[in-house]
Structure 1
Amino acid sequence: MSSSVMPRYIYTLLSFTFISRSFQTAPITKRKFLFRLSHFDGRLVQNWTDVRTSSSVWACADICAADSDCLSVCFKPTSQECVIYERVVSTTDEFTQFPSATVFALCPRGYSVMGRRCIKVVTEKMDRDTAREHCRDDDADLITLGSQARVDEFRYFMEANGDEPDNDFYMCGASHVNNGLWQWSSGMTFSSNSDLWCPHEPSDLPEECTATKAPEFICLYDLHCYSAQKFVCEIQF
């Protein structure tokens, strides 16, 4: 099998999922969904938890899927080693070059895969500071919807995985900085004239935080940071 075809097969064959409808945490919980992090290939990220013997990438994946503490794994084919991490590897991690290394990640328990991100939709309503603290306890942050493509991606996810439609706001990670400038938790900025806003938003009221609204999820609203809302946590790769 050619190397260009391999990632697609790996992504397909390593999808260990099941659905949980218990609420207050997320409308759908995909667990044991191991997916390829191709931009980490050739890297051996430092500060791993354990190294185990593995005869193949598939066996390495099975090891991680069976280990409740494993969140990332790197397979080293030349030495037939499976490197285990009890965290999601990050592009800010120190690493050494290791040709042929293959890296996968697992969304933490309670999170679902959405594109190249893991997200958790929380239906328990909290103000922004409390919601952000909740996300940060998972090494996550409030979701960034910094482009129409990302807004659409979230809408499609909620259409496919959400519970019964409601009309609630879902707080996301942008807040007002000054003079019509808004900033996402990720550091990206946008203006009050952005096409991301819903009609007549942002309002003239001193509302400093942002949310998207069910069931459409097509644009952004501004709202008070102290208002308790549902919210979405995100881990980006």
Structure 2
Amino acid sequence: GRALVKEPKLLLFDEPLSNLDARLRLSMRGEIKRLQLELGVTSIYVTHDQVEAMTMADRVAVMQEGKLQAYDPPDELYDRPRTLFVGGFVGNPPMNFVEVEVVQENGDYYARRRGFQVAVPAEQGAKAAGRGTVTLGIRPEDISILAGTDTSTGLSTGNGAGIPSEAYLVEPLGRDDLIEVIAGDSHLYILADPKLGVRIGDTVNMQLNTEKVQFFDPETEKSLLWA
């Protein structure tokens, strides 16, 4: 309040909500955002809370060890991460990462690993093919368990093909179940509908939304799609 009296051209917020409880933080986030929009004062807001950063900012600067990793609008930061660090840091649960090789066969592109193969769109596949091992990234909400999967056999009784996987861990979160599955030697997390009734030890068929697949260079950790 005292700072606003001076009609500043720039405001700096240094983790102002860090000592508040969750309900009060929710209320104050909205109040600060509304006030900033009303006054039109450029503001820099420092926080370790991803929810604060994603809900309040027009653009988010992500720092790692003093270096700027990204400076993008929240939706672009989430959907089009420019580095491996940003992809894994932004989002909860975090993005899954799997080391794969992308190959082209008869005009189609496939991401392959032991016990793991998925067809990927040409737009993404062309940028990752022929590079040897690359890192595939996919968010838990972009993996689904096929409807009609027989959890005792993992065979899909509906249309489409999936990747046979074992449910290694199931964590009920209320609206979703967070399921850790094993496909070959890869561990991935899936946000799934609790009504599927998946239990630890079940075999299920998972399917990736390949439009959401990311690829990163494992050495530079830069995106092969957006950097």
What TM-score, normalized by structure 1, do the two folds share? 0.28
Larger relative contact order (CA 8 Å, sep ≥ 6): 1
Structure number with higher helix proportion: 2
Greater Cα radius of gyration, structure 1 or 2: 2
Structure number with higher strand proportion: 2
